[in-house]
Structure 1
């Protein structure tokens, strides 16, 4: 039986890695998910075959309850709410790890019967898992707009309080490792870590949410790996390390895309839907507006059009209308590409997922580093709900909070059309100088409706 379990784990690990490789592109993402899911199923079976496994009724009850909650939630969630679901499901993993650590404390009589390194691993999992769970709940609340998107902070007291909470959690953990078998200490570990999770994410504004989701995902993976070590479960160790490593790499890449350090993001204070009043003389600057007919004519006589999607496209569910518009332009011999900024939307890869859902060819999805050199040869850049990632202030205004952040160079295009409901700011809470550029025309209204009107106009040309 031990040999069989080992073989099953090896097969599961191979499927995990192979499935992860499939997630590198929209074409293979669905297949990659299925492959990884099969691997997880095999790992679960191997775990259930472990000698001494009992409480089959409780295990079956947990599986049924999880399926009844998870499957309908995943099937019914709208694409606009996908970031919230990712944050919530990710947090549940961290919460489960924290609860398992508590159970381990109780069943081992305060880790009295366990080697010290296993106690350290379990307590590490408890702290990080609790931070991930409660932090993810705040991220969910901000994304769902249950909580304000702006930073919520205690100002100068924020960082000292975070340090005190971290020291309290670590101090209680050290006391437990030193031999204290008082369950209250374990409860204090979980509570201090929980409050720390809340206090770390509350001061972070909406502009940093994509990075926060990725960071908390990495935390959940690390906590799961540590708990796998404590439980001596190979599958949990490997799966947790894969999630932790991939989440850490993605967090680092996204932080670089925003020209912000991870400590600066954790320190909070940047971004929010109502964080900062628009600066400058916004009312005094002229804005040029346009209509669907003019926009259609402009694109119909172009040779190259680049679509720049943002969260506004996701909110309006305009991706299918955008795809129909692009197909009409392509029938006229016009080249259409899509410029994807790493932090466009509210989670990593948000725009890629939306456009893949609309069957946009993968070859047309161009990452920022690839597409920026092509804007100079672009006749029309169509910006759909993207705000901060196209703001020229990131390059020209040293006083701007997004100064230094790499942006999509849409201003290099011959003309720019911006589809937006209003002149409101984006997640960073600052005005977008792109709107006042002489080559920019604003098409106000719901993005799906506006693109639909452009489609109807294109059909008549």
Structure 2
């Protein structure tokens, strides 16, 4: 490796670190994303040209094709499908690590057998095995996560309920570890690596398929960490420092995010790691919770309610993203603040389907970052809040998390919106959230339901407010 390449790798690694630091806050997230992208481009170009792998023209062609694909996805993938996109990208990272490690093993085998080169060390075999193991688990696990987020019917097929699943998973994990040990002794044995990859692909599927949709944000964070760890292991395989650094950064940040998400959902990190999340009874039936207790309202009634309020908290959820109602909620925010109403947004860590989903939506609508409050900060304020507006959220405001010890969201910290004076819920229907359970909040004495598309409902409320204050 030439001194110039080392310098370029150092600059790329620095950009990665600055990029991740920028992603820690919505205000600097765009800049952080750009810095990380530039660092990755620099690392890739340096590797391809510095090692003479391809010509400059091939690099330019790849940049053009990649840029076109990136622009197409950015313009056409809706914000509601971004979690699925992240899951796929995690999977692509995993399978890339698996294939690169396998290709390097094959090259080492050829050099050993036909060119008289010395046999690779045990460290090479272990690194190759870990690349295949983590990469395989990441790939199939990410595909399952994508299918669940996309709500594909086949993923909930009863045939996926495997008898003695824990025993099967434990046996597969033991076989994978045995294969890694085998590669440490025979670093260029392609058969062992092929068997390991197949076992890892099956293991990733079995680890992820029983996890419920409500826990998918945590799984996405963990799979992101896996993809980084697989890349780091592959960096040791091909002796590439910048890949080790980038993979380590992604892996460690993913683990940290996963732990934060586990705390936010009252889930055990060990359960996430071994795919034993979710489950439990669903609690009371919808008819028992809602029968004769739902109070509907109209935009005109809500306009009167908002006009007399002093403090309003908006709680966005996935329904807001589906309806693309972020600009309509911004208009409501502007109208209320212009009339002296204090308005804040309560953001649950797992609102939507991935970390930061709601923050991105609200920032896109140019809602100030200062009024976006995290759960721990906003919860103590609900006792003196006049009106809470829940837009498309469900599980993150469900009191059953506090009351039902056996449900799929049991013990999950929620936004305590039921403590406010009045709760207004905008939903199309009484359909359950991702956890599949009814929400007693909708039938509470202080709750009013506006059954409408979030965007249309907010626009009608805004119109009624305008007419009221004339």
Q: Which bin holds the TM-score, normalised by the shorter protein?
A: over 0.9
SS at match of 1:281: helix
How many Å separate the matches in 1 of 2:406 and 2:325? 34
SS at match of 1:402: coil
Equivalenced residue count is 460
1:267 corresponds to = 275
How many Å separate the matches in 2 of 1:90 and 1:147? 22
2:87–2:142 contact (8 Å) kept in structure 1: yes
How many Å separate the matches in 2 of 1:292 and 1:34? 42
1:341 corresponds to = 348
- Does residue 216 of structure 2 align to residue 209 of structure 1? yes
SS at match of 1:322: helix
Stretch moving more, 353-362 or 179-188: 179-188
2:8 corresponds to = 8
2:415 corresponds to = 408
How many Å separate the matches in 1 of 2:126 and 2:263? 33
Compute the displacement of 1:81 (Å): 0.7
Compute the displacement of 1:68 (Å): 4.2
Compute the displacement of 1:45 (Å): 2.9
Aligned pairs (5 A) from 1:366-385 = 366-385=373-392
What is the aligned counterpart of 2:149 among 138, 143, 160?
143
1:118 corresponds to = 124
SS at match of 1:108: helix
The root-mean-square deviation of aligned C-alpha atoms, in Å, is 2.4
1:277–1:429 contact (8 Å) kept in structure 2: no
How many Å separate the matches in 1 of 2:345 and 2:111? 55
- Does residue 311 of structure 2 align to residue 329 of structure 1? no
How many Å separate the matches in 2 of 1:178 and 1:331? 72
Stretch moving more, 230-239 or 179-188: 179-188
1:149–1:205 contact (8 Å) kept in structure 2: no
2:49–2:55 contact (8 Å) kept in structure 1: no
Distance 1:357 1:435, change over 3 A: same
Compute the displacement of 1:433 (Å): 1.2
1:150–1:206 contact (8 Å) kept in structure 2: no
- Does residue 87 of structure 2 align to residue 80 of structure 1? no
Compute the displacement of 1:148 (Å): 5.6
How many Å separate the matches in 2 of 1:285 and 1:267? 39
Distance 1:43 1:32, change over 3 A: same
Which runs of 5 or more residues in structure 2 are unaligned?
Answer: 113-118
- Does residue 140 of structure 2 align to residue 134 of structure 1? yes
SS at match of 2:50: coil
Compute the displacement of 1:425 (Å): 1.1
How many Å separate the matches in 2 of 1:30 and 1:180? 42
Distance 1:280 1:80, change over 3 A: same
Deviations, residues 68-126 of structure 1 (Å, cap 9, x unaligned): 43431233111111111111112111110010011011111189632211221121011
- Does residue 361 of structure 2 align to residue 388 of structure 1? no
How many Å separate the matches in 1 of 2:173 and 2:198? 11
Which runs of 5 or more residues in structure 1 are unaligned?
Answer: none
How many Å separate the matches in 2 of 1:173 and 1:61? 37
Compute the displacement of 1:169 (Å): 2.5
SS at match of 2:340: coil
Aligned pairs (5 A) from 1:304-323 = 304-323=311-330
2:122–2:185 contact (8 Å) kept in structure 1: no
How many Å separate the matches in 2 of 1:379 and 1:63? 53
Compute the displacement of 1:404 (Å): 1.5
How many Å separate the matches in 2 of 1:141 and 1:309? 24
Distance 1:275 1:104, change over 3 A: farther
How many Å separate the matches in 1 of 2:254 and 2:460? 40
- Does residue 421 of structure 2 align to residue 429 of structure 1? no
How many Å separate the matches in 1 of 2:178 and 2:110? 15
Compute the displacement of 1:52 (Å): 5.1
2:289–2:440 contact (8 Å) kept in structure 1: no
How many Å separate the matches in 2 of 1:50 and 1:116? 28
SS at match of 2:430: coil
How many Å separate the matches in 2 of 1:225 and 1:211? 21
Distance 1:453 1:436, change over 3 A: same
Distance 1:456 1:164, change over 3 A: same
2:283–2:406 contact (8 Å) kept in structure 1: no
Stretch moving more, 52-61 or 375-384: 52-61
Deviations, residues 311-345 of structure 1 (Å, cap 9, x unaligned): 11111111111111110111111111100000111
Deviations, residues 380-413 of structure 1 (Å, cap 9, x unaligned): 0000111111111211233333222111010111
2:32 corresponds to = 32
Compute the displacement of 1:143 (Å): 1.1
Stretch moving more, 317-326 or 35-44: 35-44
1:69 corresponds to = 69
2:116 corresponds to = none
2:108–2:188 contact (8 Å) kept in structure 1: no
Stretch moving more, 183-192 or 236-245: 183-192
How many Å separate the matches in 2 of 1:258 and 1:155? 26
Compute the displacement of 1:6 (Å): 1.5
SS at match of 2:164: helix
